[in-house]
Amino acid sequence: MRGRSSISSAVSTLLMLAGALQAQAEAQAPAQDRARNADAGLLTSTDSNGERVQLEEYIPDIVVTATRQATNLQDTPIAITAVSAEALEERGITNVSDLTSVVPNSQFRRVQGAFGPGVSAFIRGIGSGDTSLAGEGAVAFYIDEVYYPVLLGANFDLLDIDHIEVLRGPQGTLFGRNSLAGALNIVGRQPSLTDTTGYVDFTAGRYDRRDVRAGLNLPLSDSVALMISGLSKQREGYQRRLEFTCEMIRRGTPELAGTFPTTNVLMTRTPNFTPNDCTIGRLGGDNVHAGRVSLLWQASPTVRLTVNGDYIRDLSENTADSIVDIDPTRANNNMRTQAGYFGLTIDERFMTGDPYTTYVTYEDRIPAGTVIPGNSYYNGTMVDGRYTRGGYELPAHNDLLNWGLSTKLAWDFGNNMNLTAVVGYRVLDEIHTFDTDGTPLVVEHVVNDIVNKYLTTEVRLSHTSALMDWVGGVFYFDAEGVQHAALAQGSVGGQRKLYTTYEPKTKAVFANVTLRPFGDAWSFIIGGRYSDDEKVVNFSNLADVSPSPSDIRFAVVPQQKKSSWKLGINYQLSDTALLYTSAASGNSLPGYNPRPLQVTQVGQFDGNDDVAYELGAKLDLWDRRIRLNAAAFYTDFKNRPTAIGGAEATLDNNLQPVPGNQQLEPLPGGPPGSTRCSTQTLPTNTGIVCIGRTYYRNLPATVRGAELEYTIAPTDALAVNGSVGWSRFWSPDIAQRVVNRRQGNPFWTASAGIQYRFALGALGGAITPRLDWTYESNQIVSGTSTKYNDLMPARSLFNARITYDNTERDFTIAAGVTNLFDKFYWVNVFDYQGLGYPQTDAQPGRPREWFLSFGKRF
C-alpha cells in the first residue's frame, strides 16, 4: 500500500504540473518534426501566425538511441541520463565509476579489492558487484552497441566519447540480457568526412599524475574517414604500504614486531641510522594505456559502414584497502600459531591508525617447507617433490588486457525504412591478486587469472511513419571463458586451485512498436522480447594435495527461456512537454554459487524477475531556459534469489569438522539451517574451525522512488544542473532483521553544478569557473550488526574547476581540485568477520587532489 500511495502522490503532482504547463504551452506540433530537427541541431516552435520558427538552443538537445532508433532525449519516454562529451569534461568524469556524480538513484563504484579491477553497478537500489564470470549483473553495459557481459574490466576510461546514456529501470525488451535494473550505453565519437581535426590534452596533478590524451580525424576521401585516439594515464597510489618491522622500530615499539623480518635491507636499523620512511609501495595508483580507431566508409548516400577497434592495457596498482577492525578472539589456531612463529599476536598492532597506510605485503615471509607445530597449513606439505606453502610473493597490481573490434552497417532503404547490423568481438585477459587480511601474515591470499572471449551480433529493421514507429530484430551472444585461480588459505589449513570453464550463449528476438492512432498527441508503446539463454559450466576446486575428499568438481547448465514485455502510454502536451507512463519487465540470468569453499556449498539458483511501473515527465520551459525531467517508479520483484554471508565448519579430507576454538550460531535472516561464526570462542580443539559460506534464499521485494534531473540557464553565461533521487528497497529479510531494518544503499542521492562564463575579449576567449557537489545519504554495512554503522555516514563531496578557453587560438587551460574540502570517507566496507576472519576491511576514498590541464584543438 505504501508503494501505491507514493505513486498516487507522484501522479497528482505530475498532473498538477501538466495543468500549469497547458496554460502556458503553445499549440502542439508533431513529435516527429521535433525529432528530425533535433538530428539537425535545431529546435522549432509555432509563432502567432502558425509559422514554424527556430528557437535559440539555450539548453542543447542530445540524440539518444535508447529505443534502438535515433530520438531526441526529450521525446524519449524513458528515464535516461544522457551526458555529452563536453559535460563529462566539465565535471571531471573520466571513467565509468565517476558516473555516480551525475546519475540519480545510482552507485557506480570501483569494487572492493578482492573483486579485481571492476565496478559495482546499482540503479534504483538494484545491482551487483560480483566481477566473476559466473556473476550475472543487473545493469547491462554496451560499448558502441556491443554488449559487455561482466563487471570485471568495466570501469572504462572514457576515450573519444560522444555521449553516455544511462537508462534507469528494466530494459528487458530492447536491451535484454541482464538489464534488470537498467542499461549503460557508451557511444563513441564517429569520424567526419568533411574536416581534418585533432586535439591533444595534457594533465598533471597530485600524486605525480600525468595524463595524455590525443586524437585525429582524417578524411581519406569523399567517402572514407579515419579517426584515431590514444590515452596514457599515470598516477601513483594515495595509500602507502609500510614495512611492518621498520614502522614498529620507527615508532619506538620494536617489541611489537617480534622477529618478523624486514623486506628491505635499507630499512634495517643500525647504530647510526633509524629509518624515517618505511614506505615499500603504494596502492590506488593508475597505469593505463588505451587506444581507439574508427574507420567510416560512406559507400553510398544510403549505406554507411563503420569499423571500430579499441585497446586497453591496465597495470594499475590494486585498490587501497585498510583494516578498520581486528577482533583477536576470531583468530583461530592456525592464525595464532602462524603469528606465534614470529613472536606476534593478532591484535590492533596490525592497524596503522591511518587509513592511507597499510601493512599489507602480498607475500609469505615464512620460508617454503617450514613446519610450525600445531599448524595445519605450515606442515611441510610437498607436491611433486616440492614444497608448496610459504616463501612466495604476489604482485600488488592488476594486469588487464581488454580489446575489441566491431562493425556497424546502417542501410537506409528509403520510405523511412532502415536496416542496422552490429557485430562485435571482444577479449578480456586479466590477472589480479588480493591480500585478504591486510596484515603481513597469510590469512588468505588470492591470485585470479580470467580470460573471456565473446561474439555478439544484433540485426535490426526499423520504420517510421505518421501512424507508427517500429523496430524489430534478432540478437546472438556466444562466449567462452576460463577462470584459473589459486587460494593460499593459511587460516583454514590448505591451498585451493580453481579451474573453471564457462560457455554462455543467448539467442533472442525482439520488437518495439509506438502507435499514434489518434494523431501526434497520444502514442502507445508495445514491446516484447523472447530469449533463450544457457551457460555450460565445468567447475573444479581442488586441494593442493589432490586427489582429496575435499576436492570439488561439478558441471551445471543454468538456463532459461524467458519472455519480457513493455507497455506504455505517452502524451505530448506541447512541443516542449512530454508525459508518459509505462510498465516493463526485467530479468537476469540464473546462476550458481561461484565460490564454494567445500563440497557442502555447491548449489544453483533461479534468475531474477521484476516488473517496474513508471510515471514521468520531460519538460523544457520558459523559452528553453529550464529543463526538468522527472520520474516516479515502483518495482515489484517476482523472483529474487538473494545471497547472504554466513559460515560453517571446515571439513578435513575425511569430510569431518576440523577441531578448533570457534563455534557456530544461527544466521539471523538466513534460510533454515544456515549458520554464522559466533564471536564466543571455546577452549582449544573443543570446537570447530569456521569457513565462510554463501547461502541463497528466494525473497520478493519492492522498490519505490522518484528522481528529478534539472538544467537551468537563466542567462547565456550562467548554467546550473543537477539531480536528486530517492528510493526505498523493502523485502521480507529486511523486515525480519533485529537491527538495521533498511537497505544497504543510500536512500537519497543528489548532485548539483553551477558555472558562469565570463567573456573576456581582451584575452581572446572566456573564463568559466565551475563548482560541483555530490551527495549520498548514509549506508549500512551489515544486516546483522550495528558495529560498523558509523563507517558509512551521509557525505557531500565538492569538486572545483576553472577553465580558460581561447577562441582565437583554440586552446584550453584548466585548473581544478577534486574533493575540495578533503572529506574523508569509505568507498565500501567488507565485513570479513562475518565470514570467520578476525578483521574487517574498507576502501578509503581519494583525498583532495589538484590538477592542471592544457588542451589544444586544431
Pairing state between β 552-556 and 399-414: unpaired
pLDDT at residue 377 greater than cutoff 60? yes
In one-letter notation, the amino acid at residue 193 is L
Cβ-contact 409, 420 below 8 angstroms:
yes
Q: pLDDT for 199-250, tens place per residue?
A: 999 999 999 999 999 999 999 999 999 999 999 999 999 999 999 999 999 9
Asked whether residue 4 carries a pLDDT value surpassing 70, the answer given is no
Contacts of residue 576, Cβ cutoff 8 Å, sequence gap at least 6: 25, 45, 74, 619, 620, 621, 624
**Mean pLDDT of the residues in the chain:** 89
pLDDT grade for 55, boundaries at 50, 70 and 90: very low
Report pLDDT digits (tens) over 284-311.
Answer: 999 999 999 999 999 999 999 999 999 9
Mind listing the pLDDT tens digit for each residue in 679-730?
A: 888 998 999 999 888 888 888 999 999 999 999 999 999 999 999 999 999 9
> Which residues, at least 6 apart from 403, have a Cβ–Cβ distance to it below 8 Å?
309, 310, 311, 312, 426, 427
Q: Grid coordinates in use for 498?
A: 580453481
| 289-298, 389-398, 485-494, 792-801: the lowest-pLDDT one | 485-494
- Angle made by CA atoms 421, 426, 431, in degrees to the nearest 5: 165
Q: Is the pLDDT of residue 29 over 70?
A: no
Of the candidates 379, 318, 271, 345, the residue with the CA atom closest to the CA atom of residue 118: 318
Predicted pLDDT at 86: 87
Quickly tell me which residue has 554471508 as its cell: 645
Q: Is the predicted pLDDT of residue 467 greater than 70, yes or no?
A: yes
Task: Place 57 in a pLDDT band, splitting at 50, 70 and 90.
Answer: low
DSSP β-bridge partners for residue 234: 210, 287
The yes-or-no verdict on residue 53 having pLDDT over 80 is no
Distance, in Å, from the CA atom of 465 to the CA atom of 536, rounded to the nearest integer, reads 43
Q: Quick one: which of 74, 45, 76, 46 has its CA closest to 59? A: 74
- Does the structure show a pLDDT above 90 at 491? no
Q: What's the confidence (pLDDT) of residue 50? A: 33
Q: Residue 553's CB: how many other CB atoms inside 10 A?
A: 12
Mention every residue, 6+ apart, whose C-beta is less than 8 A from residue 346.
Answer: 326, 328, 331, 335, 336, 339, 439, 441, 838
C-alpha cell at 853: 590541464
Dihedral-angle region of residue 683 (phi above 0 means left; psi in -120 to 50 means alpha; beta otherwise)? beta
Confidence of residue 31 (pLDDT cuts 50, 70, 90): very low
Question: 579 with 568: CB under 8 angstroms?
Answer: no
CB 634 within 8 A of CB 615: no
Each residue's pLDDT tens digit, 322-351: 999 999 999 999 999 999 999 999 999 999
Look at residue 54 in the predicted model and tell me its pLDDT: 37
Side-chain half-sphere exposure of 579, counting CA atoms within 13 A: 17
CA dist 178 and 535 (Å) reads 13
Helices within 40-152 (DSSP H only):
85-90
For 725, the enclosing helix (H) or strand (E) is: strand 718-730
**DSSP output for 173-214:** TTT-TT-SSEEEEEEEPPP-SS--EEEEEEEEETTTEEEEEE
State the amino acid at position 99 in one-letter form.
Answer: L
**Where do we find the cell 534460510?**
671
In angstroms, rounded to a whole number, what is the distance separating the alpha carbons of residues 514 and 32?
Answer: 12
Of 629 and 161, more confident? 629
Which pLDDT band holds residue 9 (cuts at 50, 70, 90)? very low
Residue 35: is its pLDDT beyond 90? no
Lowest-pLDDT choice from 44-48, 203-207, 570-574: 44-48
Round to whole Å and give the CA distance between 854 and 856. 7
772 compared with 44, residue with greater pLDDT: 772
CB neighbours (10 Å) of residue 552? 19
Q: Give the residue with greater pLDDT, 795 vs 554.
A: 795
Residue 733: its pLDDT value, please?
A: 83
Helix (H, G, I), strand (E, B) or coil at 435: strand
pLDDT tens sequence across 384-436 = 888 989 999 999 999 999 999 999 999 999 999 999 999 999 999 999 999 99
CA distance 651 to 682: 18
Decide which of 16 and 725 is more confident: 725
pLDDT above 70 (res 21):
no
Per-residue confidence at 832, pLDDT binned at 50, 70, 90?
confident
Q: What is the pLDDT of residue 8?
A: 43
